[in-house]
Structure 1
């Protein structure tokens, strides 16, 4: 190991403080140093021969990740790689362990173990976060590490940390760095194993970031797996891809391009709407609602989808339809607008109804995003109030988002519009 080439901790911390995600983005494209041959022997530089030992104050952080926040990442992963495999990988890799502790500590700082407890101060999470970036800067010199599952897991865990920490532009740059790492290794949503799990979890984060920034998603991969061989979890992930394309369609970039080619823009929306229709027609009975007891006195009819993750997938399907129908140019006049308005209303009702019956935080996280999107285009006063209440309820359970009041943001938007 060439010590002269290793950046000092002070240098790393200085760069991280100015632009935390820049460390990973630079490293993603940089070659390994001369002499780092990628042989098995070099693994001892970054892979511990014995399991790492946690300090007393770190057990709660590790547990919060393993039994809590990891499930957010594992939403559509039947093998639950981040709650079953990643904790074991972290015991042999200091960088991944630092990332796990950073994410666990940050969530504990938002949601303490028990009501009334002080929890863990955010400062502890920030320290682990910077130490993770320092580790990445050093370890990315080794070819075996750059091609390791530990790196992929670390990138995704750090990205999740930035998402719940409210890193904003820093999180977005990190998402782009993750894109380049996956692209350099030709990894995608059909790679299998941990690599596939990372890709889909990364795409779900990028979809939300792109939607909020009115930009295109970073991905260029197009799934080729046929519906005939998909299980219910493949189906759930497939709708994430279609939603990503719908977010692309609603981006500022594609809207501007559509101004010069109206025919193609209308055609593209129809193509995506047909993809959604095919997905819905192929979805199995698992995506259908189960009976619920009694009538509801709220503006949405409760819809119970079990397991709840499939309910979140159906909400994403509805969000995609809303975005396409809102942004597709209409050539059929008033009657076409009436027809679209009915479909949009049905989609809003489905998103709200499913949200009322969700029972796990991973699904609530996705539901929060879909509720916000639905709320932007909801014109009914009672439904608006219910959407705001559901977002608040979800956020109280998950602790996300920590730095933005999405319900208040919606109310601000609604105050500028006339209710129907």
Structure 2
């Protein structure tokens, strides 16, 4: 950074993103947070955003994924200030896959401590807007996102096979986004007899768990997304058999990754054993 020739270098951004990844794996939360913030400012200086081309674009989206997971962990807004000017219907199949991460970031903002302080009516309007965006994304998916034929013997969360794995991960991300918004949606937004929340959550969990069940054992990226989605969406399950199925899938994903060191299954088992709505929601805000 002391050399002017390096201030516009993509090597600088690439190195920072790689170091940030290692800090995430090493569970160095404070270092990871500072690194993510540093990358944000470097990208601002270099005018890098989500619609750049080539390596610039790849670095920005890699950074966004880390920032989104970190923000969800810390209950804060994402650092991203970029907004896509393209309509969802104009995106190609690969672009739709990465756009799912942008939508997740918007939903993480929605459940952040900052936005939860807003008035109920405003939160209801924003919740409706996000749900509509997520619906538009799903409706815009081309045939490449359709599940491929697969024989599944499981009665609970049958396996869903979608190829390539990046498209499958995008569907899991979109499903997690739905779970986050619905669980934090103001109560006045749904009537007592409204079945939409339950229907949305049921479909979302079937997608997250079904895709996790078909993830290849050697695909670390697929298992990482599955593990995070399973862990973050687990609070909406109340059926004992569904909880057990999710815990088994979570355990498999974590064993394949061998990360993090703490058992996520044990954490969820503790939450489930307390079995109160207040505890579940509190855990959902802090997990």
Correspondence for 2:25 among 144, 161, 164? 164
Are 1:148 and 2:9 counterparts? yes
- Cross-structure match for 2:181: 324
Correspondence for 1:350 among 207, 210, 221? 207
Q: How does 1:203-214 map to 2 (within 5 A)?
A: 203-214=64-75
- Cross-structure match for 2:233: 374
Are 1:304 and 2:200 counterparts? no
- Cross-structure match for 1:383: 242
**TM-score, normalisation: structure 2:** 0.91
Residues 365 and 400 in structure 1, CA contact (< 8 A), matched pair in contact too: no
1:399: how far off? 2.5
* 342-351 or 149-158, larger mean C-alpha shift: 342-351
Are 1:269 and 2:127 counterparts? yes
Residues 214 and 251 in structure 1, CA contact (< 8 A), matched pair in contact too: yes
Residues 152 and 158 in structure 2, CA contact (< 8 A), matched pair in contact too: no
- Cross-structure match for 2:40: 179
CA distance in 2, matches of 1:380, 1:209: 29
Q: How does 1:50-199 map to 2 (within 5 A)?
A: 140-199=1-60
Residues 180 and 233 in structure 2, CA contact (< 8 A), matched pair in contact too: no
- Cross-structure match for 2:83: 222
1:392: how far off? 1.7
Are 1:364 and 2:228 counterparts? no
CA distance in 2, matches of 1:405, 1:173: 26
CA distance in 1, matches of 2:265, 2:58: 30
- Map Cα deviations across residues 314-373 of structure 1 (whole Å, 9 max, x no partner): 00000001111111112243113x431221122111100110001121111111111111
CA distance in 1, matches of 2:2, 2:16: 16
Cα RMSD of the aligned pairs, angstroms, is 1.5
CA distance in 2, matches of 1:404, 1:172: 20
Residues 273 and 324 in structure 1, CA contact (< 8 A), matched pair in contact too: yes
Cα 1:372–1:253 shift into 2, 3 Å: same
CA distance in 2, matches of 1:227, 1:349: 24
Q: How does 1:13-24 map to 2 (within 5 A)?
A: none
| Secondary structure class of the residue paired with 1:324 | helix
CA distance in 1, matches of 2:67, 2:31: 13
- Cross-structure match for 1:118: none
Compare CA radii of gyration and give the structure with the larger one.
1
- Cross-structure match for 1:412: 270
The gaps in structure 2 that reach 5 residues or longer are 278-287
Aligned length, in residue pairs: 274
CA distance in 2, matches of 1:339, 1:230: 28
Residues 88 and 136 in structure 2, CA contact (< 8 A), matched pair in contact too: no
- Cross-structure match for 1:106: none
Correspondence for 1:252 among 96, 103, 113? 113
Residues 290 and 304 in structure 1, CA contact (< 8 A), matched pair in contact too: yes
CA distance in 1, matches of 2:267, 2:42: 34
Cα 1:178–1:294 shift into 2, 3 Å: closer
Cα 1:169–1:412 shift into 2, 3 Å: farther
- Cross-structure match for 2:284: none
CA distance in 1, matches of 2:152, 2:220: 25
Q: Which runs of 4+ in 1 moved over 4 A?
A: none
CA distance in 2, matches of 1:224, 1:400: 37
**TM-score, normalisation: structure 1:** 0.63
Are 1:242 and 2:242 counterparts? no
Residues 49 and 57 in structure 2, CA contact (< 8 A), matched pair in contact too: yes
- Cross-structure match for 2:252: 393
- Cross-structure match for 1:122: none
The gaps in structure 1 that reach 5 residues or longer are 1-139
CA distance in 2, matches of 1:404, 1:224: 41
| Secondary structure class of the residue paired with 1:333 | coil
Q: How does 1:280-299 map to 2 (within 5 A)?
A: 280-297=138-155, 299=156
